Structure 1
Amino acid sequence: MDADFSEKGVLITGGASGIGRATTHLFAAKGARVAISDIDEEKTRKAVLEMGNEHIAIPGDVSREKVVSEIVQTAQDDLGKIDVLLNCAGVSDVLVPTVEQSLENWQRILDINLTGTYLTSRAVAADMLRRGEGSIVNISSIAGLVGLPLRNAYVASKHGVAGITKTLAGEWGPYGVRVNAVAPGYVLTPMVQKLIDQNSIDQKLIQRRTPLGRLAFPEEIGNVMLFLASPLASYINGVVIAVDGGYTAFGAAGPAVDID
């Protein structure tokens, strides 16, 4: 048994950058035909051009129900069927005291991170349930396992993703559809780099707090998603796997590792 995705159709949201982009390449290398959806149309089409004509670009906003229906229908029509859904679309937030956070900011983050995951999963699952097979892998976060001060909306959205992952796994498992999630720690993506550049997060402090002493590379998250979606994980359902270098496992006071 291998993580072979030959003749498999994969839909990945948020696939034009960061973890999503790295993951598209991993699945394509294993033989999958990939439909990449992302809100940034130019980046989406560029990502597909890099990968080859057998893959397709479907730009769209996953927070809008009608758009999600169109994305999924287009992917199904082109791929024949969607065997794997990877919900990678997501946005971060600006660190702000709760009493100063606007409802608009709160709602935008939940709409994309949580509602987008819900809408896409629901739309794809209809055919998966009919066929009696399929795998969905969501991206939660260590923010979905713990609390992070000043980041209420992001934390709430990622706790929500972890919650619906477990709920859908219980509901759809009897029909042959597995639903799992990864909870990345800090990953060297454009989104995290922006927070570092804005001095919203301290990279050295994060590295000291992480037993492995570094941030993750996007491919390291993608490899776990590849595993969870594959037959190698055929009896794994409803789990949220922390891929964080030991960040959430470390409970001692002080740094986990010395970083100069």
Structure 2
Amino acid sequence: MVGIDLTGRNVLITGGASGIGKASAKSFAASGARVAVTDIDRDGIQETVRGLGNEHFAIDGDISNKNDVDKIIKAAGEALGNIDILINSAGVSDVIMSTVDQEVETWQRIIDINLTGTFLASQAVAPDMLKRGNGCIVNVSSIAGLVGLPRRNAYTASKHGVAGITKTLAAEWGISGVRVNAVAPGYVLTPMVADLISSGKLDEKNLMRRTPLGRLASPNEIAEVILFLASKLASYINGAIIPVDGGYTAYGAAGPAVEIE
């Protein structure tokens, strides 16, 4: 993003192997920040880091596991010196099905990664940020954290939880100089969404018709808003959930928002 200079700032990005996390890593590195990316996909984060240039780091681990998170934060701190900015981008989707048929194991996995992972990473970086009186956390929620998506109960619950923890941490840590905000993306052409489209679980044309801008987002469009929220330009934004959804949640009329053949 033009005008944002994060030289001297150190960033940890979860879910950095693909999608919004990978796009965010590119945006932050291009703005001068030193970046560490983490994901359970070791090959994926190594590929991400190779595209960033020098002084950036890949740290593999399971964000839903506390022991792994502690190791990730320690390794990131050793590599970067300290963590100024945390981007909680790690997330998985659910199987689109009736809530009656949903298995508790699937429910728990989604909650563990999307919500508990956000909690664990935020909790782990907080002591140093609070001690220094400076820090920023940006969480990736979803339009599923603003509305109810039928047959996607676990994902919707997890993203509402991310929105809730964003507001709670902002209210708790703001006085200590740590800002916490979230983006709520609409439908983004990430590998996760592409898989749902290719499997017939989502209808791309219907999603486009339902979105006033008439298209899906690119991961980079979400990453640029995350970058803004982490910058000094957003210094008085705290506890906000910013929809980045092409007008999806603003549209209130019956029927499609736009006509698409």
8 Å CA contact 1:2, 1:231 repeated in 2: no
Q: Which residue of 1 aligns with 2:88?
A: 87
Q: Which of structure 1's runs of 4+ aligned residues deviate more than 4 A?
A: none
The alignment partner of 1:135 has SS state of: strand
Q: Which residue of 1 aligns with 2:113?
A: 112
Q: Which residue of 1 aligns with 2:172?
A: 171
Q: Which residue of 2 aligns with 1:154?
A: 155
In structure 1, how many angstroms separate the alpha carbons of the residues matched to 2:241 and 2:155?
17
1:125 aligns with 2:126: yes
In structure 1, how many angstroms separate the alpha carbons of the residues matched to 2:48 and 2:224?
19
The alignment partner of 1:181 has SS state of: strand
- The Cα shift of 1:53 comes to 3.0
Q: Deviations over 1:217-247 (max 9, x none)?
A: 1000000000000000000000000000000
- The Cα shift of 1:2 comes to 4.2
5+ residue gaps, structure 2, are none
What TM-score do you get using the length of structure 1 for normalisation?
0.99
In structure 1, how many angstroms separate the alpha carbons of the residues matched to 2:81 and 2:210?
46
Q: Which residue of 1 aligns with 2:26?
A: 25
In structure 1, how many angstroms separate the alpha carbons of the residues matched to 2:199 and 2:228?
34
Aligned residue type for 2:128:
D
The alignment partner of 2:188 has SS state of: coil
The residue correspondences of 1:39-50 to structure 2 (distance < 5 A) are 39-50=40-51
8 Å CA contact 1:15, 1:44 repeated in 2: yes
The alignment partner of 2:27 has SS state of: helix
Q: Which residue of 2 aligns with 1:185?
A: 186
8 Å CA contact 1:22, 1:219 repeated in 2: yes
In structure 1, how many angstroms separate the alpha carbons of the residues matched to 2:6 and 2:111?
32
8 Å CA contact 1:11, 1:37 repeated in 2: yes
Aligned residue type for 1:74:
A
Q: CA RMSD in A?
A: 0.9
In structure 1, how many angstroms separate the alpha carbons of the residues matched to 2:223 and 2:123?
22
Aligned residue type for 2:119:
Y
5+ residue gaps, structure 1, are none
In structure 2, how many angstroms separate the alpha carbons of the residues matched to 1:121 and 1:233?
19
Q: Which residue of 2 aligns with 1:145?
A: 146
Aligned residue type for 1:3:
I
In structure 2, how many angstroms separate the alpha carbons of the residues matched to 1:204 and 1:221?
21
Q: Deviations over 1:91-114 (max 9, x none)?
A: 001111111100000000000000
- The Cα shift of 1:152 comes to 0.4
In structure 2, how many angstroms separate the alpha carbons of the residues matched to 1:205 and 1:2?
36
Q: Deviations over 1:36-55 (max 9, x none)?
A: 10110111112112212310
What TM-score do you get using the length of structure 2 for normalisation?
0.98
In structure 1, how many angstroms separate the alpha carbons of the residues matched to 2:52 and 2:165?
32
8 Å CA contact 1:141, 1:158 repeated in 2: yes
In structure 1, how many angstroms separate the alpha carbons of the residues matched to 2:68 and 2:54?
23
8 Å CA contact 1:12, 1:24 repeated in 2: yes
Q: Which residue of 2 aligns with 1:72?
A: 73
Tell which deviates more after alignment, 144-153 or 41-50.
41-50
**Aligned-pair identity (%):** 66
The alignment partner of 1:85 has SS state of: strand
